[in-house]
Chain A
Amino acid sequence: MAARGPQTAQQRDRTDQRAEFLLGALASAVLVLIAFMIAFVFAKAWPSFAHNGLDWFGAGGNVDEQLTGIFNSPADPSDYVYTLHAWPLIYGTALITGAAVLLGTLVSLLSAMFIVEFAPGWIRAILQPVVRLLAAVPSVIYGLIGIIVLVPFFGNHVIGPARKESVQYVIQLDGSSILVGTLVLTVMITPIMIAITVDALRSVPRNWTEGAAALGVNRFRALRTVGLRAARPAIVAAAILATARALGEAIMLSMVTGSVAFAPNPLDGVTFFFEPTRTLAAQIVEGAEGLSVKPFGQTMYAFAALLLISSAFLSFGGWLARRSMRKYTLAPR
């Protein structure tokens, strides 16, 4: 642009106004887009929900056989098959996401505390960029490492033949399992949680923790009782973000969890951790080949709708949690 002389106040006002319009229009466009997307997904998904009612969310039968039935529906729209009991997929999603977020929160809190308070300068200088780099690694790379290294390792060396035989007519333990899925997912979501928690701990005013230290507590205790408490809203935000990423993770989980629509049973003891499952997002990826079969596509949209609702509830829950923590100050974002 050509160099200009100093602007008059009026010109500046006009520029501001233009920027306001432009940004406002963009923001509303995003809102409209989201509204359209939700409406579209629900409209597509409706037949699947309508046919099954509440049974859709229940257990019963074999999901893969039900999906095969839907896929092989006759050509006549009035004969479309929709029967589906999606419980194993819902349960598998909740199980893996929940476990990974719990584990990730624990690990990220401890590492963030280390980075902020205890790490020597040179370690911090290495750790921080590495954590940020890890947060940006595409999930398919984790999936490849999982399927080429971890799954065969667990299948051939960790899970013994006796354990495999004990459940062989129900499920096969080939190494792809909720354990590997949870581990890899934790590695995937932890870096972003660490990054957010570190920033939050840093923004806790120094004199607060120093005040605690002056009262005679050690550094760890001061950080735990004052720093972590003040940073709680940000920690919740980090957990929410991580949960959203975990819920949406498809490719990696499809590769390492065995992709069997099976609901692992905690009563199986240790075997439980080696049992496979399949998450909703993984199911959508795997079903993508059959989208042209109308009832099958609608069923996939039903899975997508459920994921959309979950993430909506997730943000709402996060908002509530942060609101109730407002008294711990450090204005929530």
Chain B
Amino acid sequence: MTWNRPLAVVAAVAASAALAVPAAATAKPTITMSGSTSVAPLAALLAKKYISVCKGCVSFKLLQGGSDVGISDVASGRVTIGNASRDPKPSDPGGLVFNKIAHDAVCIVTNKSNPLPGIDEAGVQAIFGGSVRSWSSVPGSSASGTIDTFTRSPASGTQDAFQKIFLGSTKVFSGSSQKASNGLVQQSVKADPNGIGYVSLSFSDGLHTVPYKGVACTERNAKSGQYGGQRNLYMVTRGPAKGAARAWIKWITKRSAAAAIVNTEWVSLQ
């Protein structure tokens, strides 16, 4: 039959490809990562550089899903590395090693039309706790009317960091609008002249970042440790990192090429 020939060719090609792929895969280890949406953009940039530096010695697979997804994935062995933007918790599965790879700064942001000159801890707690609800009672504000607060859902790493660093025991105002990602908070504050929210430093484009305790939220201030609103970013492994993952984490924390990438929007450890 006439159409059998191309089919046979396709089958032959598929068969040889199937044979070839496992051979290539064994030669080149794959590092799979999942987890924090705050770590993911950094991990992607680092991975690209690492592949070119080590001449394609590994391949990467990067998934997101949030810090807790990464931690549960790595604990159950679904991925090599779980990315986390929060500190270890007592309820985390046992046997995990949190490898610190960088710092990230959490910035308080307002709309460009309302360049708040500064805010202190009490101010943040009053605004996000809901005891101050009008811009007219916030010193230095050029906006008027009700304050619109934008926060993150309880399960997010940024929310966890914000609660620990800025709020302490103060509870978030129950009427505040909860967003599912950094980008949505950024978009909401950008569109709302009365808005205030908090995002990772890398999501502050197009917004006014409010100096916290007199220190501007910039990479330089975060790196020097002067800026108070910092958190740690981790790559979590099950037991100490081994093999390709160990080389990769070591490269991130020790090499200047990696530090240069980290310092574009985050704060390197070196």
Contact residues of B with A, CB < 8 Å? 1, 65-69, 71-72, 75, 89-92, 130, 133-134, 144-150, 153-157, 171-180, 184, 187-188, 191-195
Are B177 and A65 closer than 8 Å at their CB atoms?
Answer: no
Closest-CB distance, A302 to chain B (whole angstroms): 15
Is A110 among interface residues, defined by CB-CB distance under 8 A? no
CA distance A288 to B75 in the complex (A): 17
Are A172 and B134 closer than 8 Å at their CB atoms?
Answer: no
Is A329 among interface residues, defined by CB-CB distance under 8 A? no
Is A175 among interface residues, defined by CB-CB distance under 8 A? yes
Is A111 among interface residues, defined by CB-CB distance under 8 A? no
Pick from A2, A164, A169, A170: contact of B145, CB below 8 A: A164
Pick from A72, A165, A276: contact of B177, CB below 8 A: A276
6 pairs, CB–CB < 8 Å, chain A vs chain B: A155-B148, A155-B191, A155-B192, A161-B144, A174-B150, A259-B180
Which residue of A has the minimal Cβ distance to B176? A172
One of A14-22, A30-38, A146-154 contacting the partner? A146-154
Are B175 and A262 closer than 8 Å at their CB atoms?
Answer: yes
Which residue of B has the minimal Cβ distance to A155? B192
Is A98 among interface residues, defined by CB-CB distance under 8 A? no
CA distance A165 to B130 in the complex (A): 13
Which residue of A has the minimal Cβ distance to B171? A65
Are B145 and A71 closer than 8 Å at their CB atoms?
Answer: no
Pick from B154, B171, B175: contact of A172, CB below 8 A: B175
Are B155 and A174 closer than 8 Å at their CB atoms?
Answer: no
Is A75 among interface residues, defined by CB-CB distance under 8 A? yes
**Chain B contacts of A287 at CB under 8 A?**
153, 155
CA distance A276 to B151 in the complex (A): 14
Q: Which 10 A-B pairs have the closest CB atoms?
A: A290-B155, A289-B66, A292-B72, A152-B191, A289-B155, A171-B175, A164-B146, A174-B148, A292-B68, A75-B91
Is A293 among interface residues, defined by CB-CB distance under 8 A? yes
Is A193 among interface residues, defined by CB-CB distance under 8 A? no
Instruction: Given A164-B145, A289-B67, A291-B69, answer yes or no on A254-B174 (Cβ-Cβ < 8 Å).
Output: no
